[in-house]
Amino acid sequence: MIQYPKSNAERNAYTIDGKQFHAPALEPGLYLTATPIGNLGDITLRALATLAGADVVLCEDTRISRRLLQRYAIGASLQVYHDHNGAQMRPRILEWLSSGKSVALISDAGMPLVSDPGFKLAAFVRDQNLPVHVVPGPSAPIAGLALSGLPSDRFLFAGFLPTKKQARRTVLKELGAVRATLIFFESAKRLKSALADITETLGERPIAVTREITKLHEEVLCGSALEVTEQLTVLKGEITLLIGPPEDNAASYDDAEIALALRAALATMSVGKAASSVAKSHGLSRQDLYQHALSLRQDDGGDHG
């Protein structure tokens, strides 16, 4: 059994592979500290020093966070902070920070603030002109993106999909037009329903389902939503769902063809409606086509209608 340090001299200690280290004193402030998303070995050296050196460590669930602290023999003072007690805890945390204490905030896994109540605390502390620091580390959305094989030059993390079918389909339709890889968190019990809605709203777009990232049963399934559904065997664990961007059709149309289509539409439509019509039929951006249509209307001597 690991024995926590009891003397004041050892209070800021932490242990790695049986060797003890001492964390330097922390400057006052709130420290947003990333923790492993699965494998406890993924924690950073700076995060260990922050957790060992902080006057208070805020966590969502002491049972989960204590396992991490026990692994590295950190005797931190744990306090619970989550959605249900946040309003009551924030004034108390403000007192600690105002008196010069250092407070580390961790979530059950990953980076605080990502689908997490920590963003309210960070905003609250900033509003009080008190220091906020970040100790970056593991993040499930980024890890999932790296594993997925989907385009990573542009991506959008959108948190959890809605639980209700119609709301979920509405979100998928709205975000499906974004020319970027979409990243969501999803529960195992709703995954099949989400995949069915992706097929219905977005068609055969490439997707990836990553499960239990960095853990013993890490799994990555790739293909269309229908193909991934057929591959599913075990439905449990932490899931990150990624959807590839829509195909870029812009290259298949030259400027002359677009101008011709816009002029034809402008013969019977306003600039806005013409841009919307051509954008929809050619799979292009309405905003870009609006400016193009506006220029054509002005060149032809018409009004802005």
What is the C-alpha to C-alpha distance for residues 293 and 304, in angstroms, rounded to an integer? 9
Structure tokens at 38: 């699965």
Is the four-CA dihedral 78, 83, 89, 95 of positive or negative sign?
positive
pLDDT for 236:
83
Helix, coil or strand: residue 179? coil
Architecture of domain 141-243: 2-Layer Sandwich (3.30)
**Unique residue bearing structure tokens 């593991």:** 138
Whether 210 contacts 239, CB under 8 Å: yes
Structure tokens at 11: 């209070």
pLDDT for 298:
82
What is the C-alpha to C-alpha distance for residues 90 and 88, in angstroms, rounded to an integer? 6
Q: Counting beta carbons within 10 angstroms of the beta carbon of residue 3, is it exposed (0 to 12), middle (13 to 18) or buried (19 or more)?
A: exposed
Mind listing the pLDDT tens digit of every residue in the chain (305 residues)? 333 444 444 679 999 999 999 999 899 999 999 999 999 999 999 999 999 999 999 999 999 999 999 999 999 999 999 989 999 999 999 999 999 999 999 999 999 987 677 889 999 999 999 999 999 999 999 999 999 999 999 999 999 999 999 999 999 999 998 999 999 999 999 999 999 999 999 988 999 999 999 999 899 999 999 999 999 987 888 899 999 998 765 444 567 888 899 999 999 999 889 888 887 777 676 767 888 888 888 877 654 44
Architecture of domain 8-135: 3-Layer(aba) Sandwich (3.40)
What is the C-alpha to C-alpha distance for residues 241 and 196, in angstroms, rounded to an integer? 13
Whether 135 contacts 47, CB under 8 Å: yes
Tens-digit pLDDT profile for residues 166-221 = 999 999 999 998 999 999 999 999 999 999 999 999 988 999 999 999 999 899 99
Q: What is the pTM of this model?
A: 0.77
Residue burial 141-168, b: 16+ Cβ < 10 Å; e: rest? bbbbbebbebeeeebebbeebbeeeeeb
